[in-house]
Amino acid sequence: MFAALFSSILSSLIIAAHFFRFGEPGLVCVSVLAPLLLLSRKRWGLRAFQILLSLAAAVWLHTLYRLATHRFAMGEPWIRLSLILGGVSLFAFFSAWLLGRESFRVRFGGGDTSRVQVWTFLLTAVLLAVVQIVVTQPPVGPMLLIERFFPTWGWFEVFVLAVYAAWVSGKMLNVRGIPVLRNRLWAFFSAVFFGQLLIGLWGVLGEVPEATRFLMTGNLHLPIPAMIVAGPLFRGSGFFMLILFAATVLLVGPAWCSHLCYIGAWDSVMATKRKRPVRLPLWREALRRWVLLGVVGLALGLRFMGVEGVWAASLAAVFGVAGVVVMFIGSRKTGMMNHCTSYCPIGVMATIMGRVSPFRLKINSSCTDCGACTLACRYDALKREDVVERKAGIACTLCGDCMSRCKPQSIEYQFLGLKGPRARAFFVVLIVSLHALFLGVARM
């Protein structure tokens, strides 16, 4: 135990000194804080620390190769340097191996959820690392917020969000707590998104340059989901958000609407004001498609007619305000997500395009037709006839709220050959990693 703790902490401090020498304060902070993962007393924290130690060993090998190659080309001594850096790399690998021994591993609990949490930690870190490395130049500039204020500190944000994602994924595996936790996380993301927008607008209007860094660029559009598709069609450019939306739907299907939409959380707050939802009329399905066609047609029509951007933005603002009215009146009155299921064109696109994703919500043969899931669904996707057919309707957003009410546990996720807990574990890894990614990069 002592050898594992001493060697792992020493390895972290040595790599921290290396990063300090090369002017990487963000990585210094990550290296110093990494051993604190052991204080979680959970298996995922142990595994995450092992991964970081292995990465430290890889950094030493890369440094060895780079410096030794340079010295060899210059005709300078390189053998002693190689032996030293190679030894340091082996020491980091050895430290990671010690932490994986049975005598040490048994002291860390949470074995049932650790694998999901480790994969969530790793996937989140990889996604954010790609953003940190690739997106660094104007006009967008660094995507990670802390990098805009403190250069090279983006790696610290990557570490914090990866740890946060691992913690959240462990909580999400508790089926009974899904509705409350999902809505809290959703509201948190929405608050962060609009909080950054308000600070950025204050910076623009008050001519405070530092505050404008909370905005992605100087080219703003209204924070209305419909603008994800209408904006690029009207401008003929700026397809980043549309591509991000399409990629998300491809990964997790229509779950974008129940986990990642920055304004959908408002609709959820209004809908949950009523405990027992009321079934929506049948014409809702046709209405949502007409709204989508209308938004797309209007955006293209305004573009071809050469209408100025200010007038197009005014129409978009009216559409957005009407959507808020739908939330505060329709959703609150019926207990259903009226805005998301009947009014929002992006919601229609997500549920239709979501058919491409292999994720499905199925009802197995143990169902007793009790109707509890119907009362839990706020998207009108588990009507009586849907339950009889043993599959959710097209409006399903894979929110998982119904699973918390199903006593015989008859509702499950399916993904290609995966079923039940495995499919749901895979879904949790993806959706929580995307949640953390969006927290780090989603800005106007």
Whole-angstrom CA distances from 253 to 118, 184, 250, 423 are: 23, 21, 6, 14
Describe the crossing of helices 240-252 and 345-353 by its angle, rounded to 10 degrees: 40
Q: Which of 109, 142, 161 is the last residue of a domain?
A: 109
Instruction: Specify the pLDDT at position 260.
Output: 93
* 225 and 206 share one domain: no
Closest CA to 375 of 314, 334, 328: 334
In this prediction the pTM is 0.93
* 285 and 323 share one domain: yes
What mean pLDDT comes out for the span 366-374? 91
Give the C-alpha separation, 379 to 342, whole Å.
10
Comparing 425 with 238, the larger pLDDT belongs to 425
Kind and range of the H or E run holding 314: helix 309-325
* 25 and 142 share one domain: no
* 292 and 324 share one domain: yes
Q: Which of 53, 74, 109 is the last residue of a domain?
A: 109
**Residue 422 placed within a domain:** no
Question: Domain tally for the chain?
Answer: 3
Q: Quick count: other Cβ atoms within 10 Å of Cβ 139?
A: 8
Instruction: Specify the pLDDT at position 215.
Output: 87
**Residue 285 placed within a domain:** yes
**Residue 347 placed within a domain:** yes
* 266 and 358 share one domain: yes
* 237 and 320 share one domain: yes
What mean pLDDT comes out for the span 376-388? 91
> What band does 309 get if pLDDT is binned at 50, 70 and 90?
confident
Give the C-alpha separation, 238 to 231, whole Å.
8
pLDDT tens digits for range 143-202: 899 998 998 899 999 999 999 999 999 999 988 888 899 999 999 999 999 999 999 999
Q: Which of 109, 127, 152 is the last residue of a domain?
A: 109
State the residue range of the domain holding 40: 1-109
* 323 and 282 share one domain: yes
Instruction: Specify the pLDDT at position 135.
Output: 76
Q: Give me the residues paired with residue 42 across strands.
A: 109
pLDDT tens digits for range 253-284: 999 999 999 999 999 999 999 988 988 888 88
Instruction: Specify the pLDDT at position 154.
Output: 93
pLDDT tens digits for range 122-145: 999 999 999 999 876 656 678 899
Written as one letter, the residue type at 439 is: L
What mean pLDDT comes out for the span 219-243? 84
* 377 and 229 share one domain: yes
